[in-house]
Amino acid sequence: MKDSLSGCRSALRSQGMDARAYWTRISQNPGITAAKLRPDGRERLDAIGAIKRFSDVAEQRDFPSTSTVASRPFLEKACGLLADYRKAVKDLLGQHLHKTQQDKEWPYDGDLLFAETLKPRRLEASYGLQNPDPEALKAASEELRKLYKRVGSEPSPYYSVIVLDGDDMGKRFSQRLDETAHRELSGKLAEFATKAKDTIGRHSGSPVYSGGDDVLALAPLSTAFELAQDLTRSFDTTTEGTASAGLAIVHHLYPLGAALRAARAAERQAKQLESKAAACVRVIRRSGEAVEMRSAWSPIGDTFAMIVGLFQEDGTGAPLSSRLAYDVRQAAYALPKADAKSKAELKRLIRRHRNDKHPRAPDPESLAARLHEWATGLPCGMEELGRWLLFARFVAQGGSE
């Protein structure tokens, strides 16, 4: 019987048991949840697949799930408030609950911080819990709602796969014909790789690998773009070169393989810009809508982070209505070029959508000039600026649909 992933290699089995029966037995191991291996022999692995799937068990190395990465900022805010919900989850799942991370506050998978996980079908598929006790399920759901209220927010269901790669590295090495120059550049790349791990950690991300000019990491939605910027700055200053990055923003239940392919495709798109030294973001909503935007790094600066902050609500509302993003994109149909007319329209729209009562309400003149300058260097001008503003709105609202 072939393995269920590739369909071309033999699935592992024991001498006295066929592959389906063997993997059914493996899935019944108390330490293996349905999220790790689909039960009842529905998933059968070959040797390569088994090594990849269970290497963390052999090495005793924690690597977070995509749900854990997505929920990490919420978990940080909920620190000290989790006791009641933690007890309710234990009462609900019992022996089906297993620790997945070394965290005293929350040693379980991040998917249990999402209300949609507390559904009978999801609990059976992910934890093997059949026919959960109705009262225990109701109690857990109620405690989770109370936790959201105490924290003041819900976890974002979105995270990012980040792929970063140095620009023109082959050319840079070919220009260093002597051994000393080669060693010097290799040393700088090794220094960057070491720094990258710390940079990723500071942004609540998880490094998959960091070697030379190549970085792959997972990060929460709220920190992903800033992390990509900081990695690029570190690469620039450490190696005296430039780097481009691709980001795929996806739902935590989106297939990881597809997310990785989207991030790599985005990185290739970033390098298609003439100057390189660029970023490409591909947002794939759970609803199926996909939006992509590109920009060179230099004109972005802190403008994107500033817009995210202006779209975020506090006690007095948001300094700037997020409706601005939609109106800018709509205006781009009539004013596609970043010229004097589109700049005037940006100023008008900002004045219309700013919250005059908010102490951080932006100045329409200066913000319009800043956005217009960014738009002049974008491949699709005002229409692409509208997409960047929509992405900023998406980040500010935690990925709400």
**273: helix, strand or coil:** coil
pLDDT value of position 5? 83
pLDDT value of position 347? 97
Joined together, the tokens standing for residue 108 give 């379980």
Residue for token pair 């010097």? 184
Third-level CATH fold of 157-299: Alpha-Beta Plaits (3.30.70)
Q: What pLDDT, in 10s, does the model give residues 56-77? A: 665 555 689 999 999 999 999 9
Cα–Cα distance measured from residue 159 to residue 212, given in angstroms and rounded to the nearest whole number: 25
Cα–Cα distance measured from residue 238 to residue 217, given in angstroms and rounded to the nearest whole number: 19
Give me Rg for the CA atoms of the chain.
Answer: 24
Q: What pLDDT, in 10s, does the model give residues 269-289? A: 999 998 899 999 999 999 888
**Secondary structure of 37-102 as H, E, C letters:** CCCCCCCCCCHHHHHHHHHHHHHCCCCCCHHHHHHHHHHHHCCCCCHHHHHHHHHHHHHHCCCCCC
Apex 83 CA angle, 80 and 89, nearest 5: 135
Q: Which residues of the chain have pLDDT under 50?
A: none
Cα–Cα distance measured from residue 315 to residue 152, given in angstroms and rounded to the nearest whole number: 12
CA 5 to chain centre: 24
Cα–Cα distance measured from residue 212 to residue 200, given in angstroms and rounded to the nearest whole number: 15
What is the residue-averaged pLDDT of the chain? 92
pLDDT value of position 62? 66
Cα–Cα distance measured from residue 282 to residue 248, given in angstroms and rounded to the nearest whole number: 5
Of 199, 245, 382, 229, nearest in space to 306 by CA: 229
pLDDT value of position 401? 63
**Secondary structure of 354-385 as H, E, C letters:** ECCCCCCCCCHHHHHHHHHHHHHCCCCHHHHH
pLDDT value of position 57? 62
Cα–Cα distance measured from residue 219 to residue 226, given in angstroms and rounded to the nearest whole number: 10
Cα–Cα distance measured from residue 296 to residue 109, given in angstroms and rounded to the nearest whole number: 37
Report the run of H or E that residue 206 belongs to, with start and end: strand 206-211
CB 245 within 8 Å of CB 224: no
pLDDT value of position 52? 79
Residue for token pair 């965290």? 103
Strand order through the sheet with 278-284:
206-211, 214-220, 158-166, 243-251, 278-284, 290-296
Cα–Cα distance measured from residue 332 to residue 385, given in angstroms and rounded to the nearest whole number: 9
Cα–Cα distance measured from residue 257 to residue 263, given in angstroms and rounded to the nearest whole number: 10
Residue ranges of domains in the chain = 1-61, 66-151, 157-299, 302-401
CB 244 within 8 Å of CB 279: yes
Give the contacts of 4 (CB within 8 A, at least 6 positions apart).
Answer: 11, 42, 43, 44, 45
